[in-house]
């Protein structure tokens, strides 16, 4: 039997994950208005590789692709995530993997 924590699906046959698997940990959400750039400092970024998902929040009544769909540029360095300006309002969901 291998050492470490293991979690199985109900029934105990199929392995769901074990301690050596990399799981994503959610750290927070940030609302970014159009044209805004900035940074988020969180020591949680030091515990893994930073990840960020972007969701556009202001469709402006458009039901087709337009320039507000361009996400901000995202970067990670140490305990800081930086984001660039974007033509539309966005929500940034960030964490570590």
Domain ranges for the chain: 22-96
Collect all residues with Cβ–Cβ distance below 8 Å to 7 and sequence separation of at least 6: 15, 16, 17, 18
DSSP β-ladder status, 74-77 and 25-32: unpaired
pTM: 0.74
| Structural contact between residues 43 and 53, judged by C-beta atoms closer than 8 angstroms | no
High-pLDDT (> 90) share of the chain, % = 48
pLDDT digits 0-9 by tens, 55-75: 888 655 555 666 667 889 999
CA separation for the pair 47, 16 (Å, rounded): 22
Collect all residues with Cβ–Cβ distance below 8 Å to 76 and sequence separation of at least 6: 45, 49, 50, 82
């Amino acid at each position: 039997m291998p050492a470490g924590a293991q979690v199985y699906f109900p029934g105990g046959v199929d392995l769901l994950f074990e301690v050596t698997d990399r799981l994503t940990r959610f750290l927070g959400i940030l609302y970014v208005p159009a044209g805004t750039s900035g940074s988020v400092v969180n020591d949680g970024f030091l515990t893994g590789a930073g990840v960020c998902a972007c969701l556009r929040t202001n469709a402006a009544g458009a039901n087709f692709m337009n320039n507000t769909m361009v996400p901000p540029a995202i970067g990670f360095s140490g305990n800081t995530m930086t984001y660039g300006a974007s033509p539309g309002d966005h929500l940034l969901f960030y964490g570590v993997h």
